[in-house]
Structure 1
Amino acid sequence: MSDNTQRMRTIFRTKTSKALTRMEDPRDALDDSYEQQVKLLHQVRLAVAEVATAKKRIELQGEEMGARHRRLGEQAAEAMAQGREDLARAALQRRAALESQVTKLQEQHASLQKQTSQLQERERRLAEQIAAFRIEKETMKATYSASEAQVRANESVAGIGANMYDVGASLDRARDRVAQMQARAQATDELLSSGALQDLTGAPDADIERQLAELASRADIERQLNAMKKADESRSSGMNVHAPDGWLSIGQAPPTP
């Protein structure tokens, strides 16, 4: 092998090593890891906004149902005052059907409220983690830059070759990869815990439960009609027309006769 060929190979290896060192700069890797975590935080915040929007839509729908629920109660009382028991019965039947819809809406509202709280807590934890990582990142970058400058100065003074520099660079790369893997593990752990799957399958024997609920609803209507027949005033105290808590209190507790 000629001296020229050996010299060319030495130059090629030196340039390749320097190129790889630039590609694996730990400062760039730290910045990339930080940007990924910021993107994760943005995704969590978008999820919080979407859940809050869905909850607001349910609240508006619940308010509309609550207003209709009160109106049907008033219509039933007015019908009884006019001697129209058939109209009162129809109004109460519609109100009972509406109460079933409101109950489902209340369950969705409670589920979204719980999901909102969970997402907000994860957002807070992730924001704290990112803030701490940013401080550590800047500290490590400053330390690396200072060390890099010191190495270059020492090599210029003492004439240390590329081999010694490669040893230190390899150690720095190994440490940086460990730090990146730790950050990635923390980020993926947050992602895995951020989504809660809701079981949408129907409960067994749902048909029996539905029939029992219908029987109970008819019995409640008959009870209200009997109470209205015995009342001297046009409004029955068991109507609960104006609930103090709005639509969220509909169907929560049976009225006291």
Structure 2
Amino acid sequence: MSNTSRIRNILRSKTSRGLDKVEDPRELLDNSYDQMVRLLQQVRQGLAEVATAKKRIELQGQEMGARYTRLGSQAQEAMDQGREDLARTALERRVLLEHQVSTLRTQFDALQRQTAGLQDKERHLAERVSAFRIEKETIKATYSASQAQVRANEALGGIGSQMNDVSDSIDRARDRVAQMRARAAATDELLTSGALRDLTESPDADLERQLAALATDADVESQLRAMKNARVSSPRQGSISPGEEPDAWLSIGQTPGTP
């Protein structure tokens, strides 16, 4: 594979991984879940605000109720003391307070209905968030398992981009090893033939090798002549074995008569 093709595969692999990361369904599910949680928090915040307003109206209504009772008592006391004018004033204020309480009660009933509606929505939304969380985690786990299975199958089948890179690396390594072995064998042959000079050898190493070869040839010829002479003089001796003794190996290479 050429360098251009290799670079193209690497860029394509990175681009594919980038797109997979952007389109990762796990992130989409997490974002959707976060939006639902924020919506649930907003509903609960609104419910708390409505409950606070309702409680404030309830406390104000209790104060008005206490005043309404007190004005009734004051009107009765004024009549008992013959002060009809004071009784009239207390009753007028009491009637005015009745209208205020009626308006306040209307607001309280509206907040009561709004609270009930928000509580119902909060309950259903909380159930949906809980159900979606379970489904989200299930889908994420299934996606992760499937993704791992795909990667394992691609690795086993050798079809993944990473395995392709590994295969290319192995092929290049094998080529380099083969080239190096061929080069080593060629340089050995050149050194042996003398075409290349071994700088670590002595200046007369080539003469020493040739003389050693001649000495070896002479030794072989000498042993052959000895075998022929021994065969002519003693036809029964068909072996040149030094013997079966444990120390017989010490006599290997020794000429007869050598101590």
TM-score bracket, shorter-length normalisation = 0.5 to 0.7
* Deviation, structure 1 residue 91: 0.8
Q: Which residue of structure 1 lines up, in the alignment, with residue 92 of structure 2?
A: 93
Q: Which letter does structure 2 place at the counterpart of 1:46? A: Q
Distance 1:5 1:38 in 2: 49
Secondary structure at the aligned position of 1:160 is classed as coil
Q: Which residue of structure 1 lines up, in the alignment, with residue 42 of structure 2?
A: 43
Q: Which residue of structure 1 lines up, in the alignment, with residue 83 of structure 2?
A: 84
Q: Which residue of structure 2 lines up, in the alignment, with residue 72 of structure 1?
A: 71
CA offset digits 1:196-254 (Å, max 9, x no partner): xxxxxxxxxxxxxxxxxxxxxxxxxxxxxxxxxxxxxxxxxxxxxxxxxxxxxxxxxxx
Give the alignment's Cα RMSD to 1 decimal: 1.4
After superposing the two structures, state which structure 1 stretch, 13-22 or 40-49, moved more: 13-22
Map 1:53-202 → 2, pairs under 5 A? 53-161=52-160
Distance 2:52 2:21 in 1: 46
Distance 2:139 2:48 in 1: 35
Q: Which residue of structure 2 lines up, in the alignment, with residue 13 of structure 1?
A: 12
Distance 1:8 1:160 in 2: 17
* Deviation, structure 1 residue 49: 0.7
Q: Which letter does structure 1 place at the counterpart of 2:150? A: V
Q: Identity over the aligned pairs, expressed in percent?
A: 66
Q: Which residue of structure 1 lines up, in the alignment, with residue 216 of structure 2?
A: none
Q: Which runs of 5+ in 1 are unaligned?
A: 163-257
Distance 1:152 1:5 in 2: 25
CA offset digits 1:130-164 (Å, max 9, x no partner): 111111111111111111111011101112246xx
Q: TM-score, normalising length from structure 1?
A: 0.59
Q: Which residue of structure 2 lines up, in the alignment, with residue 210 of structure 1?
A: none
Secondary structure at the aligned position of 1:15 is classed as helix
Kept in 1, the 8 Å contact 2:151–2:160? The answer is no
CA offset digits 1:35-66 (Å, max 9, x no partner): 22111111111111110010000011001111
Q: Which runs of 5+ in 2 are unaligned?
A: 162-259
Distance 2:159 2:13 in 1: 13
Q: Which residue of structure 1 lines up, in the alignment, with residue 245 of structure 2?
A: none
Q: Which letter does structure 1 place at the counterpart of 2:158? A: G
Distance 2:54 2:106 in 1: 11
Kept in 1, the 8 Å contact 2:154–2:160? The answer is yes
Q: TM-score, normalising length from structure 2?
A: 0.59
Q: Which has the higher contact order (CA 8 A, sep 6+)?
A: 1
Structure whose alpha-carbon radius of gyration is higher: 2
